[in-house]
Each structure stands twice: as C-alpha cells, then as structure tokens.
Chain A
Amino acid sequence: GENVEQHPSTLSVQEGDSAVIKCTYSDSASNYFPWYKQELGKGPQLIIDIRSNVGEKKDQRIAVTLNKTAKHFSLHITETQPEDSAVYFCAASTQAGTALIFGKGTTLSVSS
C-alpha cells in the first residue's frame, strides 16, 4: 500500500546549526508534498509544501527539495532557533488525490 517513511525519528542540534529531515514515498502518483510542524497539544501547522513539477522551494530559513525519480523529499531548516523545537511531519498525497499519507514524525530539539 501507499507508505511514507521519515528519518530520523529524533534530531538534536545546537542553535544556529542546520537540520535536515528526509522522507521517501512509495506511490509514484503522489504529486503534492507538504511539511507540518506540530507543537505539544496543538494541531499540525503547514510550514511549506512542494508540488511535483518543482524540484526545490524556499521560504526564509526553510527549504524543501524533491527528487521524483528517487521518490525522496527533504526539509532543510537553516540557522535553527529554540522555537523551531517541535515534531515535524512529512506527507504525500494519495493516488486518489483526496487525502494525505503522513510519515511518523521527527522530534527536533534545538538547544541554546
């Protein structure tokens, strides 16, 4: 079935360092790849997304890259800050295009 694998499950960095989270997906029909940030007790918040006709997208300190051939996509956070600490989820659209399949999440801890 459709599946999204996300690595690493936990990531600890020093303030100012970069953080990279990687995901792979199984369904070649997936064409939309969002990233969500979830803070404790809250719902997921969309931070950046990319569609299959684009290889890279950047928004200030956050960037996402997509390799459709390898079915990989990655989140890059530069100049990390303590407020970046949260759980990050990647997702891929289903073949039907009506829902998202989520990875299991990465807990990012940024220490000052």
Chain B
Amino acid sequence: NAGVMQNPRHLVRRRGQEARLRCSPMKGHSHVYWYRQLPEEGLKFMVYLQKENIIDESGMPKERFSAEFPKEGPSILRIQQVVRGDSAAYFCASSAGTDPYGYTFGSGTRLTVV
C-alpha cells in the first residue's frame, strides 16, 4: 500500500528554466493538495485539486506557477522561469474526502535554483 509518491526527490534548475514536480496520491484518494516549505518555516498552502479540477488556488503565486491533476496520471506542479526565491521543499498531500482531515503527505521535492 504505497503512500503519496513524489518525484523527483531533488531537483536542481538554473534560473529561467522550468521545474515540473509530480505527485501520485495514495490509492483511493482523489484529492491532492500542494504546499511549499521555505527553510525554517512552516508549510504554506498553494493549491487544492480534484481530478481535472482546481478547487482552491488561493495560495498560488499569480505568475509562473500552475498545477493540474489530469484524469489519468499524477498531479503536476509546474514552475516556469524559476528564480532563486523558488528554492524550497514542495510537499504534496492527498485525502479521500473533501476536507483536510487525515491528510497524508509525501516525502517532498526539494527544488534548488542555481
């Protein structure tokens, strides 16, 4: 019974490149949440998706960031034209229900922009 799978675990990008982070939810979970963790900080909510729908993107930066959760395949968090300030750990969580009760987090993707 695999948990939430995130890949890659570590990602290095040069300034201006694109970063793609992938998240496969737990089996039976159809709700995916993305959070960002800056060094020495707590997690900050970015976006909540269900299959083929963005439900809440109130935490997403207005530019360069996008997310999707297609009918088939993992959820993708995409960051275009990365800058040094995008360096952080990005965590995905999934749940079976429509609220955050019982979130299960993945191990995260650590993005470093050089």
Any chain A CB within 8 A of the CB of B25?
Answer: no
Taking a contact as CB atoms under 8 Å apart, the answer to whether B43 and A102 are in contact is yes
Which residues of chain A have C-beta atoms less than 8 A from B114's C-beta?
A: none
CB under 8 Å from chain B, chain A span 58-112: 89, 91, 93-94, 96-105
Quote the shortest CB–CB distance from B99 to chain A (angstroms).
Answer: 5
Which residues of chain A have C-beta atoms less than 8 A from B91's C-beta?
A: 43-44
Interface hit among B14-22, B65-73, B74-82, B102-110: B102-110
Interface residues on A, range: 20 to 34
In this complex, how many residues of chain B approach chain A with their Cβ under 8 Å: the count is 27
Across the interface, A43 reaches (CB within 8 A) one of B48, B59, B100, B108, namely B108
Across the interface, name the chain A residue whose C-beta is closest to B45.
Answer: A99
Across the interface, A99 reaches (CB within 8 A) one of B6, B42, B59, namely B59
Which 5 pairs between the two chains have the least Cβ-Cβ distance? A102-B42, A43-B105, A99-B45, A102-B43, A43-B107
